[in-house]
Amino acid sequence: GDRGSHPLGMLRRAVRWLVGGAVVIGGSGYAVHEMYWYRRRQNALIAPTELHNNQKWKIDELYGALGESAKQAEKNLKARKLVLYQYTTCPFSSKVRTFLDLNLIPYSKIEIDPFSRSQMKDFKYRKVPQVHFDDGELVLVDSFEIVSILAPIVGQKSNEDIHKWRDWAGNVLAKYLVVNLNSRITDMGANIRYINSQPDMSRDTKAKFIAAGAMMFAVSQCVQTTHRMFTT
């Protein structure tokens, strides 16, 4: 009879499919793992505090000249050209956008390609969010640092409680958001719908973010393992 319909032939085909699928899944998982740790190494090349210390005199200029009123410093800030480098779906980028919007600070946005990050290839610091002033004359990075530097200029006084909550939001809440939004394959459906609803993202960028779902799932697993976090 037909060899393909023989039980032994069917078993062989099934085994080939299983082995092939395991190789593809394993290779993809390894690639995602390597990309994750490669980016971790890139991101560790310079710390936000070091980057800001190297620009201290430029940051000091934000607070205005000696004797200049606080209102004038705020007016000067809002007159400058600000560009936010971001991922629309990143909670840290969302924090900076919310701060800028609530304080009526004008800015434009550049969406970063989630795979190549080509828009940041010449930057010393390779994570989002970043706020660039006047075509890179001054660069602020890290959502906690960005808000902490700009808040006094718009009249927001800082204290220990505010710093505590900002620190908690960045170091605890954001990690749980990453884990819980990507902990299961079924979560990706809701994520895809959210990405598709974003008006500022091009079709190509949306496709890349959706394709990055496997990477974010892997990141979620790494975060859970590193910080001993478990979802139910």
pLDDT for residue 119: 87
Q: 28 versus 103: which is more confidently predicted?
A: 103
Does 136 score more than 70 pLDDT?
yes
Structure confidence at residue 169 as a pLDDT band (50, 70, 90): confident
Work out the pLDDT band at 172, boundaries 50, 70, 90: confident
Compare 226 and 93 and report the one with higher pLDDT: 93
Task: Please write down the HEC assignment for all residues of the chain.
Answer: CCHHHCHHHHHHHHHHHHHHHHHHHHHHHHHHHHHHHHHHHHHCCCCHHHHHHCCHHHHHHHCCCCCCCHHHHHHHHHHCCEEEEECCCCHHHHHHHHHHHHCCCCCEEEECCCCCCHHHCCCCCCCCCEEEECCCCEEEECHHHHHHHHHHHHCCCCCHHHHHHHHHHHHHHHHHHHHHHHCCCCHHHHHHHHHHCCCCCCHHHHHHHHHCHHHHHHHHHHHHHHHCCCCC
Check residue 165 and give its pLDDT: 81
The answer, yes or no, to whether residue 57 has pLDDT greater than 80, is yes
pLDDT at residue number 78: 93
- One-letter amino acid identity for 180? N
CA-only gyration radius of the chain, Å: 23
Question: In a 10 Å sphere around its CB, with 0-12 CB exposed, 13-18 middle and 19+ buried, how is residue 85 labelled?
Answer: buried
pLDDT band at 203 (very low <50, low <70, confident <90, very high): confident
The rounded mean pLDDT for the chain is 78
| The pLDDT of residue 85 is above 80 | yes
pLDDT tens, position by position, 25-56:
666 555 555 555 555 555 556 889 999 999 99
Q: Which residue has the higher pLDDT, 167 or 143?
A: 143
- Burial pattern 136-173, b for ≥16 Cβ within 10 A else e, equals eebbbbbbbbbbbbbbebbeeeeeeeeeeebeebbeee
> Is pTM beyond 0.85 here?
no
Count Cβ atoms below 10 Å from residue 77 Cβ, excluding itself.
19
**pLDDT for 159 beyond 80:** no
Q: What is the pLDDT of residue 46?
A: 83
